[in-house]
Amino acid sequence: MKPWLTFAWIAALRFLAEGRMQSGFILSGIAIGVGVIVFMSAMLTSVQTNFTNRVLTSQPQIQLMAPQEVARPLRWHDGVIEAAIVQQPTQRILSIDQWQTILAAMRARPDVVIATPTVSGSALAVRGDASRSIGIFGMQADDYFRIVRVPNYIVAGNSELGSDDILVGLELAKDIGATIGDKINVTTAIGGSRTLTIKGIFDLGNKGANARNAYVALRTAQSLLGLLGGVTTIDLTVTDVYAAETIAQDIQATLPVEADSWIKTNAQIFTAIRAQNLSSALIRIFVGLSVAFGIAAVLVVSVLQRSKDIGILRAMGCARGQILRVFLIQGGVLGFVGSLAGALVGAAALMVWHRYARQADGSELFPLYIQPSLFVSSAALATITGVIAGIVPALRAASLDPVDAIHG
């Protein structure tokens, strides 16, 4: 290490050691501030990750559908007026036109990870005297279960589907008094009817979905809904989940389909996620400002208390740059040491909270996602903040006239 740099470090550490009480107070303040940043950042990240994972594992990120039928306006054709269809047509279960071509195009896109055809529609589930309205979802299980993670939510039985099997929700099973291995009759409005065996019971964490959703093989749904060889939707996952709406708009503009993204269908949740990101950024900014002002205040006091020492050093030949570096190093050391203590405080608070904050049944509220980069970034932020906070006091110290400082 160069002599002038060695001198700056020795002088900076000696000044800090002489003002133990001041240094201790500011280190405590920095530790609390960094601890708050670590705790709140980890909490908000965990909440957001769990929200996003729950949404993205229970529905496709983009869903392609056949365009809706609309009323035809009045128009001329070969000199003949064609009458308008004034009343909005009833929306029927429609198959996507040339869906195999569209599916192949989706699988060829570099921004699409998974593309799989599905068939959905309404039906009536009957067992004995009990009957419930359900939504039938027919799919190719190998691909579909990579999008909607139904196997992760199975609470009884398994998710292996044959042509005569069905997966039902926990609430539906209770409503019709059924369990694994029981048979139910599924009937649709077009007259399709089939007796299916309950192969698995799932719990999606949503009472409405558990009471209504039912999953069957693709060909079974096509038969029940009268769509032999057709599909009603193509479900997609994409490389960037937050670009799903942009990708959906691009697909809709180039192909004869309607495209809905998870961002559009879950607008309130997406708004909540953005609000969480904003609140997390504001917390970091305000805590960082409080830490900066604290460091600056301590260093200003240090300059005032050590004016004579600074004057003597200047009279002995120390350059302004050396004095400047002394106080910048003090700010950086305060920020770095305080950030290390704060990271430990924040991590300990997270562990205590996670241990004692429980649901009514004793299970965890949600998994914690603690990234090592959070501690590294917090330490870097606090250190940089300390150096920046030391700029004004350092400039003041470097500008002191040696004669005035010694006599002052």
Report pLDDT for 23.
Answer: 72
Distance CA 17, CA 39 (A): 30
Shortest CA distance to 255 belongs to which of 73, 115, 83, 404?
Answer: 115
Q: What is the pLDDT of residue 40?
A: 80
Per-residue pLDDT tens over the stretch 102-134: 999 999 999 999 999 999 889 999 998 888 999
| Count of C-beta atoms within a 10 Å radius of residue 13 | 14
229-258 confidence digits (pLDDT tens): 889 999 999 998 888 889 999 999 988 889
Residue type at 113 in one-letter notation: V
Per DSSP, the three-state class of 1 is: coil
- What are the C-alpha distances in Å from 376 to residues 34, 334, 381? 11, 16, 9
Alpha-carbon gap, residue 348 to 46, rounded angstroms = 16
**In contact, 336 and 390? CB cutoff 8 Å:** no
Assigned token pair, 45? 């990240």
Residues of the chain with pLDDT under 50: 1, 4, 86, 88-91
